[in-house]
Amino acid sequence: MTVGEALAHASERLRAAGSETPRLDAELLLGWSIGIGRTGILAHPDAPVGADAATRFEVAVGRREAGEPVAYIRGIKEFHGLAFGVDARALIPRPETEALVDGGIAEVMRRLAERTGEAGAGPGRGGDPIRVADVGTGSGAIAVALAVALRARRVTMGRNVWILATDVSSDALDLARENAVGHAAADGLKFSEADLLPPVLPDEGAPLDVVLANLPYVRSDAIDGLPISASFEPRLALDGGPDGLDAIRALLARLPDVLMPDGVALLEIGADQGEAAPAAVAATLPGWRSTVSRDLAGLPRVLRVDRG
């Protein structure tokens, strides 16, 4: 069997099984089965597929036919230009969440620049690091991508910035730690198994400059209507309660105690929460300011909260 024949056959099976991207799925899974990238697959349609690769591909296509996400089958997902290890311990990071990483980079770099400008202050308040939290870190996507991006900007992680990555799931935290090590980004990352945030923050409870969070925000009654692939992901990562805002509201209630006076929280929200999320801020944090920014498709995506 050639690459082209294997792709055609698998695409047909996956289309029949209900995949919305049968050809792409087949290309990614065949590349993974052979051990080459998707471009190699596309460039060599007449190459033969060896027996071992064909067996791996057959198993992979069978799993995909049953609805399992391609990312879990391959064990890898691209996020913010990095390859993250993914499996059923945590949500597969989504492209829209990259906006939180970009927002985090901008907030940290702005603070570092301001503090470097303070006479004798150095990179932080008298040398204090910028303190960031990624609440509900899952695979560690936000925390690790932020750490890697800051390192690329010559920020010394640990000394200039630290990032606290929390999750209520110890399995997810294990995966996050593996991804941090995999990207040589463990310096300056702290991990904590906690309901939102630990009772005492690191550095003897010093408040945070930046809180980033992609917490579960799907309405409980909408979970069953998600694509079958979502049923392979932890429900804890998706279910946001009756209106989807339970976890977000709980985090908002913690902000007065954990955020610096000039601190900011950037929270991912659902596309249908552009009005409900700011209303939750108004109800939970009277006098605070909130703004919602939209993604490239024009959908509400990031809720920004500060003391105003």
CB 82 within 8 A of CB 144: yes
Judged by CB under 6 A, which stretch of 27-35, 106-114, 167-175, 298-306 contacts ligand SAM?
Answer: 167-175
Q: Does 303 bind ligand SAM (CB under 6 A)?
A: no
Q: Tell me 89's DSSP state.
A: T
Part of the chain binding ligand SAM (CB under 6 A), chosen from 27-35, 65-73, 210-218, 286-294: 210-218
Minimum CB distance to ligand SAM smaller for 31 or for 240: 240
Based on the shown chain and the rule CB under 6 A, indicate whether residue 137 belongs to the binding site for ligand SAM. Answer: yes
Regarding 179 and contact with ligand SAM (CB under 6 A), the answer is: no
- What letter does residue 68 receive in the DSSP assignment? -
Cα–Cα distance for residue pair 133/190, rounded to 1 Å: 9
* 34 lies in the binding site for ligand SAM (CB under 6 A): no
Name the residue type at position 112.
Answer: L
Quick check: 103 binds ligand SAM (CB under 6 A)?
Answer: no
Binding-site member from 167, 189, 285, 302 for ligand SAM (CB under 6 A) = 167
Q: Which is nearer to ligand SAM, 94 or 153 (CB)?
A: 94
The one-character DSSP state at 96 is G
**Contact between 271 and ligand SAM per CB under 6 A:** no
The rounded distance, in Å, linking the Cα atoms of 75 and 64 is: 13
The set of residues, in sequence order, having a beta carbon less than 8 Å from that of 307 and lying 6+ positions away, is 259, 261, 262, 263, 287, 288, 289
Judged by beta carbon, residue 57 or residue 191, the one nearer ligand SAM is 191
Closest separation between CB of residue 75 and ligand SAM, Å? Answer: 15
Residues with Cβ within 8 Å of residue 4, at least 6 apart in sequence: 45, 46
Q: Could you tell me whether strands 76-79 and 82-85 are parallel, antiparallel, or unpaired per DSSP bridges?
A: antiparallel
214 binds ligand SAM (CB under 6 A): yes
Contact status: 277 vs ligand SAM (CB under 6 A): no
Residue 170: burial class (beta carbons within 10 Å; 0-12, 13-18, 19+): exposed
Contact status: 267 vs ligand SAM (CB under 6 A): no
Does residue 215 touch ligand SAM according to CB under 6 A? yes
**Residue 166 binds ligand SAM (CB under 6 A):** yes
Does residue 112 bind ligand SAM (CB under 6 A)? Answer: no
- When binding is defined by CB under 6 A, the residue of 104, 216, 244, 263 that contacts ligand SAM is 216
Dist CA 162 CA 206 (whole Å): 12
Query: Interhelix angle for 51-65 vs 3-16, to 10°?
Result: 10
Q: Which residues bind ligand SAM (CB under 6 A)?
A: 90-91, 93, 97, 135-139, 141-142, 166-169, 172, 195-196, 214-216, 236-237, 247
